[in-house]
Structure 1
C-alpha cells in the first residue's frame, strides 16, 4: 500500500479525507476501511470514527469535498474564458472543466453520485452540491438571456447540459468510449465534442423561428 501524501501540518480531518481519497482510488469503494485510512495517516484507528462516525459519514464528507473541488475547477475554467466568448462557448467550457475534474479526481467522482453511500440529510454535502450546481446554472441563465435555448426552461437546459457531460464522463470512465470510438482522443476532446454539438443545436434555436403548433387531427376539426 502506498504511503499517504497527506500534509502532516494539515488539520487531521483534512489529512484523513486525503487518505480516504487515496484508499478509494487504490482499493475501490467497497473495500475501504477506517482502520486502513488511519494507518495511512499514522493515527489511532479510532480517529476516523471520531471525525466521521462511520463509513457513511466518511463517504459523505468525501463527496462534499468532491463537490467543493468540482466548483473550484469550474470557476477556474470560467476565469480562463476569453472576454469575447459566446454564452454557448462559456457553457461548453464548464463542461470541459467537469470532465477534467473527473479525470483528475476519479476517487472523489466515484462517491459523489452514489446516494446509497451518503447521508442525504447532511448540511455540508447539501451546501457543496448546491454551490457547485449554481456555477452551471448561472452560465445557463446568462446564455438564455441571449436567446440560447430560448424554447426551454432554465431547469431543462441545466439538466440537459449536465446529463450530456456526465454521461460522457461515465462512458469514458468505464472504458466504453475507447471500445466504440478508439480514435476519439483525450478527455478534453470528448468534452469539447459533446458540449459543442449540444450548444450548436441550442444556439441554432436562438435564430430559428419557433416550431408551429401541432395541427389538430381532422376528426377533431369536424366536431
Structure 2
C-alpha cells in the first residue's frame, strides 16, 4: 500500500479527526447533568455530531478508493468472515460481562463508573445509549481503525501489523477510559486490540463499525 499524502500531512489530518471525536465525546457528556438531559444542548450536539460523522464518512470513502477495489460492506464481510465475527462477538461479550461482574463484586474499585446516567432519568439514559452506540462509537472506529490504518502502518509485514494493532488499541483505550487508572485503560485497550485485529484479518471496515456499535451498547448496559 502507499500513503495518501506526505507523512506529516497524514499526522495533521489524523489530529484533526481525533480532536473532532474528542470534542464530540466531551459535548455528549455535557448534555447530561444531575438535573437531567439539557434539551437544547442535546439537540445542538446531535446536529453538529451527525454533521461531523457525515464529513468523516465522506472523506473516508473518498480516501479509501486509493487502497481497495473490493466491496467493503457489512453483508459481504459477514458472508466472508462469519466465523471470525462470531468469535469476536463471543470474546468481546464474555470479556465485557466478566469486567461487569468484577466491578459489581468490587474486585476492582477503580473500574467503578463515575457516572450513572440512568440515575439522571430515562431521557438521559436513552440519549447516552443512542448517541454512544450510533454516533460516538462510529466516530471512534474511524479514528481508531479507518483513518488510522489508511494513514499509518501500511507495510504488509508482521511488525507493521503488530505495531498498528498496539497503537490502535491504545488510542481506543484512551478514548474510552473512565478514569486515570491502569486497569481501566487496559480493559479498553484490550477491546481496541481485538477490534484492530479483526480489521487487519478481514480488511472490512463495515464489520468494525458493527462491532464498535456492539461494544458501545455493552459498555452502556454492562460496564
| TM-score after normalising by structure 2 | 0.29
Of Structure 1 and Structure 2, which has the larger fraction of its residues in helix?
2
Larger Rg: 1
| Higher RCO (CA-CA < 8 Å; seq separation 6+) | 2
